[in-house]
Amino acid sequence: MTTHKLDQSSNPLKKKSVKSTGTKKCGCPFSLKGVNCGPGDAWQLEVVCGVHNHPAALNMEGHSYAGRLIVEENLLVVDMSKSLARPKDILYTLKRRDRLNVTTMKTIYNARQKSRVIEKAGMSEMQVLLQKLFAHEYVEWHRSYGTANIISDLFYAHPTSIKLLHAFPHILIMDCTYKTNRFRYPLLEIVGVTSTHLTFSIAFVYLSAEKEDYIWALARLRSVTDDNSIPSVIVTDRELALMNALQKVFPSVRHLLCTWHINFTF
């Protein structure tokens, strides 16, 4: 036996909140009761209360049941999210495919979050990342500490990027950004330059303490090069710890300062 009520049926929850919030619940007494009449799809429907205390809705947008995603739409949301599509673009695509679609942005966000939870399967963000790197055959090194094996530093590079490095090793650009992730770890990006002056990403390195870890990061970079792919020039900003690490790991490489960073700083 099932009982169906409107989404306005219950009374609004009474709780203190500093946010400016609203509710569509108004204590509507309308209620239906359905009883399954045995095997098959036969149901007996009883109107418990057929009275509403509010006018009929002009449209169904905002009603959770009407705005739910069907299986095909949910798969589309997941696929577009994996392709880094923005939620508003996903919603636009759904409404363009179905003119009667009344899904809201909140439903899209909820579907994306549910997909991420299912994909993680109880794993942490770092475990998911390591699994992805392994699945796509990335070159990866990491360091950890403590009995819980908490990762402190992570180096990863795509195999195609390594091949490009061997083909165009002459100029490398290194830049360390700060506060660009939820863990506030510095991110060192290593970029190469082709013979046609196009740039390509070589590797990314998350560092817990840049002063001590630059040497480790550059040593990992050195390990994926050979004698024929040693860079001739490395361009950086005026990061003293990185400059000192370059002298130790790539002592014969010419070091240049990036003029953009100099002009930006001064």
The reported pLDDT for the residue numbered 87 is 92
Domain count, the chain: 3
Q: Are residues 19 and 135 in the same domain?
A: no
Per-residue model confidence as pLDDT tens digits over 39-71:
878 888 888 888 888 887 776 666 776 778 888
Q: Are residues 99 and 136 in the same domain?
A: no
Tokens of 41: 């799809």
CA 1 → CA 30, 51, 249, 250, distances in Å?
17, 21, 73, 75
> Taking a C-beta distance cutoff of 8 angstroms, is the pair 72, 97 a contact?
no
Q: Are residues 175 and 117 in the same domain?
A: no
Q: Are residues 222 and 136 in the same domain?
A: yes
Lowest mean pLDDT segment, chosen from 73-87, 111-125, 170-184, 204-218: 170-184
Per-residue model confidence as pLDDT tens digits over 133-156:
998 899 999 988 877 778 888 999
pTM: 0.63
Q: Are residues 27 and 102 in the same domain?
A: no
Q: Are residues 18 and 117 in the same domain?
A: no
Report the C-alpha gap between 236 and 175 in whole angstroms. Answer: 6
Q: Are residues 52 and 89 in the same domain?
A: no
Residue at which a domain ends, from 39, 56, 73: 56
Q: Are residues 133 and 259 in the same domain?
A: yes
Q: Are residues 76 and 175 in the same domain?
A: no
Q: Are residues 84 and 166 in the same domain?
A: no
| For residue 7, pLDDT beyond 90 | no
Q: Are residues 110 and 142 in the same domain?
A: no
Q: Are residues 178 and 248 in the same domain?
A: yes
Report the C-alpha gap between 8 and 129 in whole angstroms. Answer: 42
In angstroms, how far is the first alpha carbon of the chain from the final one?
74
- Domain housing 171: 126-265
